Amino acid sequence: MTIERMEELVALLNEYAHQYYDLDNPTVSDAEFDALYDELVALESSLGIVLPDSPTKRVGGKVNRGFETVRHRERLFSLDKSKTKEGLTKFIERVGEENGEWVDLTLEYKYDGLTLNLTYTGGRLVRAVTRGDGEEGEDVTLQALTIGDIPKQIPFLGSVDVQGECIMRLSALAAYNASAKVPLKNARNAAAGGIRNINVEEAASRKLSFMAYNVGYHEGIRFATQEEVHEFLVEMGFCCREYFRLIRQGDDWAAWLDEVEAARPTLDYLIDGMVLKVNDLALREELGFTAKFPKWAIAYKFHAEEVVSKVLRVVWQVSRTGKLNPLAELEPVDIGGATVSRATLSNISEIRRKDIRIGSNVFVRRSGDVIPEILGIARHNEDSVVPEAPKFCPACGAPVEEKGIFLYCSDKEHCAPRVVAELEHFASKDAMDIEGLSEKTIEQLYNDLGMRRTVDLYRLRVEELLTLEGFKEKKAANLVGAIERSKKTTLARFITALGIPNIGKRTAEMLAETFGSLEALACADTMTLLALDDFGQVMTDSVLDYFADREKQENIRALLDVGIEFRVDETVEGPFSGETVVLTGSLEKYKRSQAAELIKAKGGKVADGISARVTLVVAGADAGSKLAKAQKLGIPVIDEAAFLERLGE
């Protein structure tokens, strides 16, 4: 049951995130998204598994292909969050324990807009890029040049990336809407939509602003603290004086949060919380990162808002796994500038438990501008009716199967939404990476060419594609070529593409590295799988069940028969060949991220934490718990001097 709940949460969150990040058009409120996201995080933590397309592994949204794609010089992370002061207390205690004493923190506004990364070289603004997925973003330099408080020149002549939030002040939004034919819904989306608009004049017309809060990649200058970073930004002429405080031991930071939240309605821009960061940058290097968040920062989210709306109907959507997910369509309500008209209901059991009825008034909660949550019933009305569970799939009409509290479409082969989703996952960037195979195209292949299985992709001909709307010779040839090129892939990508439940990209990479071949993985036993790092019983059962399924075996054979083969990436020979290295503490010559790249370039692998597969630890100044754990396990440890010597320096 918990796995199916996770699948449901992932599907919902990914759709909501797509609307929010990629389309700049939130369809649900922050509160519902946060609640569902937190539920997913809790399930992942308790079960020790992460589904392949879980939003907890992703930063931000996809890159808009209407803009040039730019790779960030340093990755841009999202922030972990807490809705309670107790959560912040735990965060403060944790970073203090890591350091062995109190750790000074900084407190800043959490602006609600669009993150930008500005690159300055020789004092001149040379590029502005959106955060995107954290690894790469959209080049929006021309749009950013229309923002008056982004300096085009700064006194610092080295190279530096300045990060901040593009916002639209509420006064600017009001002025724009006073004369606009189509008024903008809210300031957050007005800012995001302006920057991500190909029409530069539209960006200029919105009178956007930029609030700087961080320095990323930099050369020619060093910072010891976030306080120094803030002072640098002020000196360079950035707008960042709105709120910045240092939290020292004994300070009543909780009272400061309450003061800001009380003053929130008086601000001329949107903030949805506050950000706490470790002030000491060297300690940040020691604390490190998770796959998505820095461990040295956290966002405090302000309280949610609540309104009453009416349930108009309950609709059922079909997921990739065939599960039917109920959604409540609400009488549209405006909360903080966002129109809320839908809320998830999870399953028929939740509908019954909350006594949700069509025609009834319900309490709807939101926080910020994205995602809704039905808290409960405000009142039933004379026309209120209990929604019935469907007996037939709303997408294909096949009989519905009950499995516990969930409902499933019984047609695995022909139900359009699940087949399309399976094909889309197979072709995705982390899987077979078939360029040009969009969801829209897959729907055409399903509807017009009768495609039902992933192997059918490799039998597509240009002549067939030319019968589809929107396809001409070049586009058809490009897609067939991309499908053909995808035949030469890696074992890890192929494992990801199979869509084994609970097995994501990183786990697929570990399985490929451990077993070396698909045949060996298919023959793996329980004990071998359980012995892998962070591999629990649920993940083990998922792998065993998948390869024991006769239909899955036939599908794999069919894919291999059409010519899919696994290339072996060339092994780099060097002084770290065969080593799995953990970096801890601060190095004088290199940042840890730079040192990690050097290790990989010299033949080694880099791990985040200490485990049995780690063969070497590089310990810089102020190394902490990782060093102690490595020494306890007898893992070899070298200092920075020995590390540089091994590099040949």
Angle, to 10 degrees, between the axis of helix 550-561 and the axis of helix 537-548? 70
- Determine the pLDDT at residue 63: 44
Asked if residues 287 and 294 have their Cβ atoms less than 8 Å apart, the reply is yes
pTM of the full predicted structure? 0.49
Whole-number pLDDT of residue 254: 92
Percent of the chain scoring above 90 in pLDDT: 41
Q: Which domains does the chain have, with CATH numbers?
A: 2-56+304-408 (2.40.50.140), 69-267 (3.30.470.30), 416-486 (1.10.150.20), 489-566 (1.10.150.20), 580-647 (3.40.50.10190)
Q: Which of 286, 314, 310, 331 is nearest to 94 (CA)?
A: 286
Report CA Rg, the chain.
26
pLDDT tens figures, 72-86: 999 998 898 898 899
Chain centroid offset of residue 608 CA: 19
Nearest Cα residue to 64 out of 203, 197, 204, 206: 197
How far is it, in rounded angstroms, from Cα 592 to Cα 283?
A: 12
**Distance between CA atoms of residues 365 and 304, nearest Å:** 6
Tens of pLDDT, residues 359-417: 998 878 665 444 577 867 878 999 999 999 999 999 889 999 988 788 889 887 788 88
Per-residue model confidence as pLDDT tens digits over 86-125: 999 999 999 888 777 899 999 999 998 899 999 999 999 9
| Residue 482: per-residue pLDDT | 94
- Pick the range with the lowest mean pLDDT from 280-294, 355-369, 380-394, 557-571: 355-369
> Contact at 8 Å (CB) between 18 and 61?
yes
**Per-residue model confidence (pLDDT) at position 368:** 46
What is residue 104's predicted lDDT score, i.e. its pLDDT? 94
Asked whether residue 152 carries a pLDDT value surpassing 50, the answer given is yes
Distance, in Å, from the CA atom of 621 to the CA atom of 285, rounded to the nearest integer, reads 11
Q: Two tokens at 88?
A: 């912040």
With 0-12 CB in 10 A as exposed, 13-18 as middle and 19+ as buried, what is 461? exposed
Is residue 209 pLDDT above 90, yes or no? yes
Catalytic residue positions, numbered:
110
361-366 and 338-344 as β-strands: parallel, antiparallel, unpaired?
unpaired
pLDDT of residue 531: 81
Give percent helix, percent strand, percent coil of the chain, each to the nearest 5. 40, 25, 40
Burial of 335 (0-12, 13-18, 19+ CB in 10 A): buried
- Can you give the pLDDT at residue 336? 53
Q: Residue 17 pLDDT > 80, yes or no?
A: no
Reply yes or no on whether the pLDDT at 127 is more than 70.
Answer: yes
Alpha helices per DSSP H over 288-335: none
Output the pLDDT for position 47.
67
Residue 563, Ramachandran bin (φ over 0: left; ψ between -120 and 50: alpha; else beta): left
Quick check: 43 and 9 in contact, CB under 8 A? Answer: yes
Quote the CA–CA distance of 141 and 122 in Å, as a whole number: 17
pLDDT over 90 (residue 348): no
Average pLDDT over residues 546-554: 92
**Taking Cα atoms as reference points, which of 353, 398, 26, 378 lies closest to residue 190?**
26
Instruction: Tell me the pLDDT band of 156, cut-offs 50, 70 and 90.
Output: very high
Intra-chain end-to-end CA distance of the chain, in Å: 55
Residue range 633-637: mean pLDDT, rounded: 88
Which three-class secondary structure string do you get for 531-583?
A: CCCCCCHHHHHHHHHHHHCHHHHHHHHHHHHCCCEECCCCCCCCCCCCCEEEE
What is the C-alpha separation between 389 and 345, in angstroms, rounded? Answer: 12
DSSP 445-512: HHHHH---SGGGGGG--HHHHTTSTT--HHHHHHHHHHHHHTTEE-HHHHHHHHT-TT--HHHHHHHH
* Burial group, residue 350, by CB count within 10 angstroms (0-12, 13-18, 19+): middle
pLDDT tens, position by position, 338-347? 688 888 887 8
Q: Can you tell me the mean pLDDT for 284-298? A: 88
Segment holding 328, helix H or strand E: strand 324-335
- Sign of the Cα torsion 437, 439, 441, 446 reads positive
* Summary mean pLDDT of the chain: 85
Strand partners for 638: 618
Q: Cβ distance 611 to 645 under 8 Å?
A: no
**Given pLDDT bands bounded at 50, 70 and 90, which one contains residue 130?**
very high
* Mean pLDDT for the stretch of residues 67-71: 88
How do residues 27-61 score in pLDDT, each as one tens digit?
A: 555 555 766 777 777 777 676 677 767 766 555 55
Spatial separation of the C-alpha atoms in residues 344 and 132, rounded to whole Å: 26
Query: Could you tell me the CA-to-CA distances from 284 to 99, 227, 584, 623 in Å, in that order?
Result: 10, 14, 11, 12
Give the separation between CA 235 and CA 102, rounded to whole angstroms.
29
Is the confidence at residue 590, as pLDDT, over 80?
yes
Q: What is the pLDDT of residue 553?
A: 93
Taking every pair of Cα atoms in the chain, the longest distance, rounded to a whole number of angstroms, is 81
Q: What is the mean pLDDT of residues 463-478?
A: 92
**Mean pLDDT of the region 636-644:** 90
> Each residue of 247-266: b (16+ CB within 10 Å) or e?
beeeeebeeebeebeeeeee
Cβ neighbours of residue 263 closer than 8 Å, sequence gap 6 or more: none
Sheet holding 271-278, edge to edge: 81-82, 297-301, 271-278, 105-111, 244-247
Can you tell me whether residue 520 is helix, strand or coil?
Answer: helix
Single-letter code of the amino acid located at 376: G
